[in-house]
Structure 1
Amino acid sequence: MKILVIGPSWVGDMMMSQSLYRTLLSLHPGAEIDVMAPDWCRPLLSRMPEVNRALSMPLGHGALALAERRRLGLGLKTQGYRQAIVLPNSFKSALVPFFAGIARRTGWRGEMRYGLLNDLRVLDKTAFPLMVQRYVALAYDKADIQSAGDLPQPLLWPRLDVRQDEIQAARKTFSLSAERPAIGFCPGAEFGPAKRWPHYHYAALAQTLIARGYHIILFGSAKDRAMGDEISAMLPATAREYCRNLAGQTALGQAVALLAGCQAVVSNDSGLMHIAAALERPLVALYGPSSPDFTPPLAQHAKVIRLISGYQRIRKGDDEQGYHQSLIDIHPDRVIAELETLLPMGKGS
C-alpha cells in the first residue's frame, strides 16, 4: 500500500506528524509512506525510518500557484498511491492529491476543501485537544474515531534516529571538545520575544552549569544569533570559553546531531524543543503565553515549567525587551531543580 502525506511546514508540526507515520505503519505493515514537504524538512524526514521518500514541495506558504500544483499532482498520477492524507488545513495544500487523482483523500475540513478531499473530517477541538491526536486520528476510519479517547493508547510518539558517527562528525565540524558533557540551550522562538525565556536567565543558568562542569551549546537560527551573543557576553570571562553560540551556523541536520549528543536540553516552546523531545534528551521546556495543552513536548524525560494557564495570543510582552512576565518569573533555580530530577548534576557529571 502506498500513501502520500502532504506534510506541515513548521519544525514542531513536522515532528509531531511522525506519530501519524508510525501509526500508519503499525496499521499497514509494509506500507510505503511518502511525505511531500519543503526541502528544509529532509534532515528530519531522513531520520524517520517510517518515511519511504521525502518529496519536494517547492512552493511557499502564500503561493497558490495553481498551475504548478497541477503539474506536481499530474506527476504523481503513475505512483500508485491508494490514499493521500493532507495535514495542513489550507485549500491549496489539498490541490496536489486532487490533481494526482488519488482515490481516497483524507483530511480535516479546514479551508473550503469540499470536493478536494473526499474523506473529509469535521474537527471538534474539544474532542481532540492535542495536535498530535488530530494527526493520528487521520490514520483511522472516521467512523471508528470520534474523540481522542478512541485512539489506541499509548500514542506512538516521534522518535528520530541519529547514528553515533553523525554526532561525532558534527562535533568535529564545530571543534567541540568532548572533555565536558554538553547541555543545549534553545533560546529562540519563531513567534517573537513573548515566548522567550529572558537572555539574562539563560546566562545565569549557563554560569551555574559551567561551574558544575558542563559545556553550553546555544542553538537556533540566524535570527537567534544576537540573543546567543547576549547570553555569552553576560558570562564571566573564565566561563565564556565553555559557552558556544552556534545559532545561525548549523544546518538543521547538524543541529539535530548535536542535540542528540547533549546530556540535556533547556528550551523555549519552539521547533527545536520538539526535536529534542524526539531525540529523547532530558528536556526542560519553558512556556509562557503559548500552551503545552496543545503542543507539549512528547517525551517521558521532559519537564514543562509554566506559571500561567490558558493560551494567550501575544507576540511581545510588556517588558521593555518584549519578554512576558510569566517567563520572567521562572527563575534559573527552578530550572536547575527540574534538571536535577532528570540527570546527575554534580560537578563534572
Structure 2
Amino acid sequence: MKHIYLDNAATTPMAQPVIDKMTAVMTQVFGNASSTHYYGRQARAILDESRHVIATSINAKKDDEIVFTSGGTESDNTAIIETAFARKNEGRHLITTAIEHEAVLKSMAYLETQGFEVTYLPVDRTGKISLTDLQNALRADTILVSIMAGNNEVGSRMPIHQIGQIVAASNAWFHTDAVQAYGLVDLDVQADQIDLMSTSAHKLNGPKFLGFLYRAEHVVIPSLIKGGDQELKRRAGTENIPAIAAFAQAVKLVDSQEKAARQQKYAGFKQQLVTGLRENGIEVEVNGDLEGHNLQHVLNLWFKGCPSDALLTNLDLNGIAVSAGSACTAGSLEPSHVLIAMYGKDSPRIAESLRFSFGAGNTAAEIEVVIATLSTIVKKLKRE
C-alpha cells in the first residue's frame, strides 16, 4: 500500500539536507558550548552561526535576541508566564484569542488561577479577530497581548502588522505564537513591532524538541527553566548543538522565494482537492476562508453528515494520513475549540470536519488519489 501523508501541520519529515547536517555535526562536534577549550569553542562557533542564521530570518536587531528552547510549548509558556510575573506590578490584564494553541490557552488559564485577568477575543467565521475588538480590550493595566500568526487547525492568518501597531501604542508587549507560520511566510519582528515570538523546528522539516523564543532586547524576563547560565542566562540547559545546526539548515532551505513557491503550490492543492471532491458529488464546505489571507498549507473541510472519526479510520485503512484537528488534542474526546469559536458549540461542523495539511513532498498526483479515495469513502458512509 502506498501511504500519503497530509498531516504536515502536526509535524513534518526532516529534509535530507537537514538530516545530513545534523548527522555531520553529531559525529564531528561533541563539545559543550559553555566550555572554553577547543572542543567547547567548536560547539560555540556552530551555536553562534546558527543563531545568526535564525536571527536574520526574522530581521532581529541582534543575534542574541534568539533564545533556543525545547520547542513551541516552552517558548509560549516562557513568553506568557514569565512576562506576567515580571510585569505584575504594572498590571494584571492579558489579552489573547479564543483559537490559540493549547500551549497559550493553558498558560493563560494557569495565570487566571494566580490572580491575573485574561480577555479572550472572539473570531469570525473565517477565524480572524476584529481589530476594533482588540483596540477596545486594551487597558492601562494590560501587560501582554498574545495572538498567533497563523492558526494550526484552519490556517487563518491574523493581521500581525496591524496588531503590532495597535499594541505598540499601549503599555503591553506583543507576543505571537508563530509555530505554524514560521518557515512558510515571511515574518519581520521589527516591521511588525513584535516583542516576543515562539517557533518550533519540526514544523519546517527540522528536528523535534527544538525551537526558539525571540525576545526583543528591551524584553527582560527570567528563564522558565532554572539551572545554569546557558543562552546568556536566558534558558538553562546544555544546548543541543547538532539539532540547532539542523534547525539553521532547515531555515536556509526556506528563503523568501521558496516560501512563496510553496504557498503557491499549496494553494493549488487546496483548489484541486475542493474542486475534485465537489465534481465527484461530495457535499463539502471550507471551514474558514479558501481565498483569503491564510496559511495555504492548511485546509479544513466540513463533510456534511459524515462523522470525522469514521472518515479518519477509513482514510487510514487506505494509507492516507490526515487529522480532525490539532495533533496536541487529537487523542482526546474534546471537540475542536477552534471550530467552536468560529461556528458555535452546536454546529454539526464540529464532529464532521477534517484537516488536510500539505508539505514540501506532496504532489498533485497524491491529491488525485485522495480525492478518489475520499469520495468513495464518503459515498459509502452516506449509504450506511
* Shorter-normalised TM range: 0.3 to 0.5
TM-score (norm 1): 0.33
TM-score (norm 2): 0.31
The structure that is helix-richer by fraction is 2
Q: Which has the higher contact order (CA 8 A, sep 6+)?
A: 2
